[in-house]
Structure 1
Amino acid sequence: MIRLHCLHAHPSNQSYIEDVFGDTDIELHHTVDSSFIERAAQDPDFTPHKQQTYAINKLLKEHEADIILLTCTQYITALGDHQHHFKQPIVSIDEPLFALICQRKGPLQLVFSNPDTVEGTMERLESYAKGHGKQIDAEVMVMEGVFHLCLNGDLHAYEEQIKNQLRRCMKKGGDICVMQLSMVQAAQQMIEETGVSIIHPLSSLKQYVLQTISALKKE
């Protein structure tokens, strides 16, 4: 059985992954490290280099994993291109999301609820698009002053704020993509409520991970 170890910044993300892989024979293990994003936001001495060292050392402890899934975009940014340190494949949750974004032809609204993730995510998205010969027509929408609701566990208020933002995006027209896993519940509710398609980090994650597993078994 394949052991998929998931590293989260918030415990609420565990249920998303459980739902996605619940009908597979993948053995899931979860680690929640809330202190990382708290330090990144509050500790000026926690420099990008220290964040990278922290992330690498944390992931090296996941030695029993066959595959590692990172659901925290700040962890992904900190790790950078240092995946060669690890014997297992490391799947960043936004990799399959980037692939979907690059398939879009028209204008796209990319919605963030955590401003601290925007710069690193957009740098990786632009690098991904360039590497695949794609052009992105995207407008970045950053929600200010709401992510603390998620961190404090007030998920209902957090999701209501996101849904309000998504309604505004729908009035503008064009495709919409929420860029963080914590936004998926609100996005799914809006899809059910309006019938409007919204791209999110779980849209193609299962397929992507299963393809990674298939390649791993062939080695």
Structure 2
Amino acid sequence: MKLRKRLGCLHAHYSNIEYIENALAPYNIEILHFVDPGLMERLRSVQNFQEGDAQQKVKEQIEWIAQTNVDAILITCTNYIAILQDDQLSIPVPIIKLDEPFFDFICNIQQPHTLLFTNPATVEGTMERLRLFADTYQKSLNIEVVVLNNMFDLIMQGRKKEYDQEVARMLEQLIYDDKIISVAQLSMVDAAQLVEAKTGRSITNPLKTFVSTIVKELDLENIY
């Protein structure tokens, strides 16, 4: 039997842990979770918090995780991904960004496509990276960005049930307009799955697209 691989995960909120644990449950892997909502809170609320300070903090977090004998590091927070400066890192393990397999998927959708966020602070960085990804692979984008305002505070306050209900309500309104819809944040996955089960319509999310990347990167065994 192969040695069990170790994956270090950096989250901005503890609610992301369950998503990753469930998605990777079929595989022979040990997952170490590192959660720090403090950086996100400072980005949202401290006016003079500089981007360079944020980049340094993320760099320190990644380097700390790399020292815990992991085989790869997964970053689940879209804001952390946008802040990270790859050229400032010199660590021996690969970094997997949750949204890159997601970008690859949505870049291949030719029809008009609605991409939803609940956290306004993640939109600019995510869309900048998405456009760069599309340009790199010579893909065209036909995307409308919709921000579901006044919802993200619920998840940050631990009111996940209310958050899921509100996001699901808005998703249902949009899905009946016969639009192709994706949700950009991991925190929106449960609500998307609720609406999928109720309507039978598919809603793409980053969790659906990242598992094959992890399996390939770490050469994981299926244990079921």
- TM-score w.r.t. the length of structure 2 is 0.93
Q: Which residue number corresponds to residue 181 of structure 1?
A: 186
Asked whether the equivalents of residues 83 and 90 of structure 1 are also in contact (C-alpha less than 8 Å), the reply is no
2:177 aligned with 1:172, yes or no? yes
Q: Which string of whole-angstrom CA distances, capped at 9 and with x for unpartnered residues, describes residues 58-78 of structure 1? A: 110112221000011111111
For the residue of structure 2 that corresponds to 1:69, the secondary structure is strand
For the residue of structure 1 that corresponds to 2:188, the secondary structure is helix
Cα drift, residue 211 of structure 1: 1.4
Alignment: residue pair count: 215
2:18 alignment partner, one of 3, 15, 20: 15
Q: Which string of whole-angstrom CA distances, capped at 9 and with x for unpartnered residues, describes residues 60-117 of structure 1? A: 0112221000011111111033374221111111011101101111011000000000
| Distance in 1 of aligned mates of 2:87 and 2:149 | 31
| Distance in 2 of aligned mates of 1:83 and 1:169 | 41
RMSD: 1.3
- For residue 51 of structure 1, what is the amino acid of its counterpart? A
| Distance in 1 of aligned mates of 2:202 and 2:41 | 33
Matches within 5 A, 1:18-33: 18-33=21-36
Q: Which residue number corresponds to residue 163 of structure 1?
A: 168
Asked whether the equivalents of residues 73 and 94 of structure 2 are also in contact (C-alpha less than 8 Å), the reply is yes
| Distance in 2 of aligned mates of 1:128 and 1:72 | 18
For the residue of structure 1 that corresponds to 2:116, the secondary structure is strand
Matches within 5 A, 1:191-210: 191-210=196-215
| Distance in 1 of aligned mates of 2:219 and 2:164 | 35
Q: Which residue number corresponds to residue 155 of structure 2?
A: 150
Matches within 5 A, 1:45-124: 45-62=48-65, 63=67, 64-82=69-87, 84-124=89-129
For the residue of structure 2 that corresponds to 1:103, the secondary structure is coil
For the residue of structure 1 that corresponds to 2:206, the secondary structure is coil
Runs (4 or more) in structure 1 with deviation over 3 Å come to 80-84
| Distance in 1 of aligned mates of 2:146 and 2:155 | 18
- For residue 161 of structure 1, what is the amino acid of its counterpart? E
Cα drift, residue 172 of structure 1: 2.4
- TM-score w.r.t. the length of structure 1 is 0.95
Q: Which residue number corresponds to residue 41 of structure 2?
A: 38
Q: Residue 113 and residue 28 in structure 1: after superposition, are their counterparts in 2 closer, same or farther (change >3 A)?
A: same
Q: Which string of whole-angstrom CA distances, capped at 9 and with x for unpartnered residues, describes residues 127-167 of structure 1? A: 00110110010000001111000000111110111111111
Asked whether the equivalents of residues 59 and 89 of structure 2 are also in contact (C-alpha less than 8 Å), the reply is no
* Larger RCO, structures 1/2 (Cα 8 Å, 6+ apart): 2
**Structure 2: any 5+ residue segments left out of the alignment?**
none
Q: Residue 15 and residue 181 in structure 1: after superposition, are their counterparts in 2 closer, same or farther (change >3 A)?
A: same
| Distance in 1 of aligned mates of 2:76 and 2:33 | 11
| Distance in 2 of aligned mates of 1:102 and 1:80 | 23
Q: Percent identity?
A: 37
| Distance in 2 of aligned mates of 1:80 and 1:205 | 21
- For residue 184 of structure 1, what is the amino acid of its counterpart? V
- For residue 134 of structure 2, what is the amino acid of its counterpart? A
